[in-house]
Amino acid sequence: MINRIKAMKRIDIIELIMRLWLGYILIINSRIGVTVPLESLGMSEDMLSIFQSLWKTNFLMHSAKLVELIAGICLIFNFYVPVVLLALIPVVFNIYGIHIFLFENYFSKGLVMMLICCFLVWRHKVKFYPLFQK
């Protein structure tokens, strides 16, 4: 195991750390609203009502949390990372948008998640080339 780690390049180690970190963040965030009550997050009444409305649709937040959980597990176990990134980028984009427009916080966990996604897409760019060819 130690020899394998020594053989890895620095960029590979950075990718491993970023992938594990993003997977961990996604798994932890997938609990919000499911096992962690929204009221305990200290949101304003307006934001709380928005999130409660999204949960009441019985689809939007449920599907977003399911994508977060599955993507987090796949990232941690290095399972179909490029496909997971394709499904995850819209979710992370919306998370960052919520942080900007509802929380008015430009430098947040959403930005970190977006930057990690961009880094992982850059690392797997060769696998995305066929998507942009005629």
Q: What is the pLDDT along the chain (134 residues), one digit of tens a residue?
A: 566 666 678 888 889 999 999 999 999 988 887 777 777 777 778 888 888 888 888 888 889 899 999 999 999 999 999 999 999 999 999 889 988 887 788 888 889 999 999 999 999 999 988 888 87
Query: What is the residue extent of each domain of the chain?
Result: 2-132
Task: Please check whether residue 110 is in contact with residue 95, taking contact to mean a CB–CB distance below 8 angstroms.
Answer: yes
Sign of CA dihedral 102, 106, 111, 114: positive
Of 82, 83, 118, 112, give the one whose Cα is nearest residue 95.
112
Helix (H) or strand (E) holding 56: helix 45-56
